[in-house]
């Protein structure tokens, strides 16, 4: 008969092979992320090049290993300070720079240096939900992503992909912290004084480094102590670091 379906020698219907288009899974930002629902980059696209900036050697190595295990992510560099990251970003041209917020200056200069070194690179900041420094950079348009330090590696990898694709990723918990934080109250010159104060130097040495008179330095220090509402230099420096107005020294 004309509509008979051909069968094999055992009388069974033959198997039919078919190609189906790939199924793209969308991850809801407010839902838990599972490994089998993380979207990967389309075939043919180059891996996302990642530069890690983390001050602790052990953590830096662990992050590099976890991200390198992702087939579409490539850790092209891992450094411990922003000073090291700037030339690395310029040379390696990463797609995304992942940086610990503890290494960033509260006035935004560190972010600006990273962006100027690699203008096409997205900056993704790792921060704690109890860290007031979030205010200093969370809403900086140069920062494309903000992820909690306690995020699972799969969440961090997903955020890196999204930043590389031009999205802006901000952890809702960090937004809440940022809204409670105070903006940096110091002028550029006062921040210069603070940075040298953090080294524990006396006024005469601070004056020599910054080419100011000792009396001028003492006046600046008095203003800094008043603005921080503290009693002495040590407390003022500590308060400025905890508030994100000074970078925390690398460990």
Strand-pair partners of 121 = none
What's the pLDDT band for 30 if we cut at 50, 70, 90?
very low
Q: What is the DSSP letter of 38?
A: -
Matching residue, tokens 């590099």: 64
What's the pLDDT band for 181 if we cut at 50, 70, 90?
low
Per-domain boundaries in the chain: 35-180, 188-242
pLDDT value of residue 69? 94
What's the pLDDT band for 178 if we cut at 50, 70, 90?
low
State in words which class domain 188-242 has. Answer: mainly alpha
Reading the block at residue 26, the tokens are: 């969308």
State in words which class domain 35-180 has. Answer: alpha beta
pTM above 0.75, yes or no: no
CB atoms within 10 A of CB 155: 18
Mean pLDDT, to the nearest integer, of 26-44? 42
- HEC profile for 173-229? HHHHHHHHCCCCCCCHHHHHHHHHHCCCCCHHHHHHHHCCCHHHHHHHHHHHHHHHC
């Amino acid at each position: 008969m004309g509509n008979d379906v051909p069968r094999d020698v055992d009388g069974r219907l033959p198997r039919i092979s078919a190609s189906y288009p790939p199924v793209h899974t969308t991850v809801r930002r407010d839902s838990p992320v599972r490994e089998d629902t993380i979207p990967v980059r389309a075939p043919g696209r180059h891996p996302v090049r990642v530069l890690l900036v983390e001050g602790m050697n052990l953590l830096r190595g662990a992050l590099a290993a976890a991200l390198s295990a992702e087939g579409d992510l490539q850790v092209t560099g891992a450094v411990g300070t922003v000073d090291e990251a700037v030339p690395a970003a310029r040379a390696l041209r990463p797609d995304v720079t992942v940086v610990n917020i503890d290494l960033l200056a509260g006035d935004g200069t560190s972010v600006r240096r990273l962006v100027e070194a690699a203008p096409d690179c997205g900056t993704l900041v790792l921060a704690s939900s109890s860290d007031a420094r979030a205010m200093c950079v969370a809403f900086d348009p140069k920062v494309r992503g903000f992820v909690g330090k306690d995020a699972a590696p799969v969440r961090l990898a997903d955020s890196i992909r999204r930043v590389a694709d031009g999205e802006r990723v901000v952890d809702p918990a960090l937004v809440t912290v940022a809204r409670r934080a105070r903006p940096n109250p110091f002028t550029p010159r006062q921040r210069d004084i603070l940075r040298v104060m953090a080294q524990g130097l006396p006024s005469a040495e601070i004056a020599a480094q910054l080419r100011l008179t000792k009396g001028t330095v003492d006046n600046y220090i008095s203003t800094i102590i008043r603005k921080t509402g503290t009693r002495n230099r040590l407390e003022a420096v500590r308060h400025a670091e905890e508030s994100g107005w000074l970078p925390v020294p690398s460990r």
